[in-house]
Amino acid sequence: MTKLPVLSAREVVSRLRRLCFKEVRQSGSHIRLERASGEALTIPYHPELSRGILKQIVSTLEDRFEYSREEAIEFLKTGKPEKVSCPIEQWTKNC
């Protein structure tokens, strides 16, 4: 089994931007990310995310983006997206 990386919220948000997530609001210590296609995540903005939060993000990648568990963890480690289309036109249509 692949080990979960230790990441800050800033690192996770940076990686999720590569999957076309966009910051839509921040409320206190939580940041809300959304994609033009409707997926949304709320992440606590802390220097180090807990294993539980990272597991939720991995589950989201598995469920919504058809990543395997290993692919999702590898994405969080490296930030190199696989299998996700991300046309910029999705956001420009809504602006």
- Average pLDDT along the chain: 85
Is a pLDDT exceeding 70 seen at residue 35?
yes
CA distances from 12 to 16, 45, 77, 89 (A): 6, 10, 9, 23
Is a pLDDT exceeding 70 seen at residue 30?
yes
Domain spans of the chain, in order of start: 9-93
Is a pLDDT exceeding 80 seen at residue 85?
no
CA angle 61, 6, 11 (to 5 degrees): 65
The CATH homologous superfamily for domain 9-93 is Hypothetical protein. (3.30.920.30)
Q: Strand 22-27 vs strand 40-44: parallel, antiparallel, or unpaired? A: unpaired
Burial zone of 72 (CB within 10 Å; 0-12 exposed, 13-18 middle, 19+ buried): buried
Residues 54-69: what's their mean pLDDT? 91
Residues 16-24: what's their mean pLDDT? 90
Is a pLDDT exceeding 50 seen at residue 81?
yes
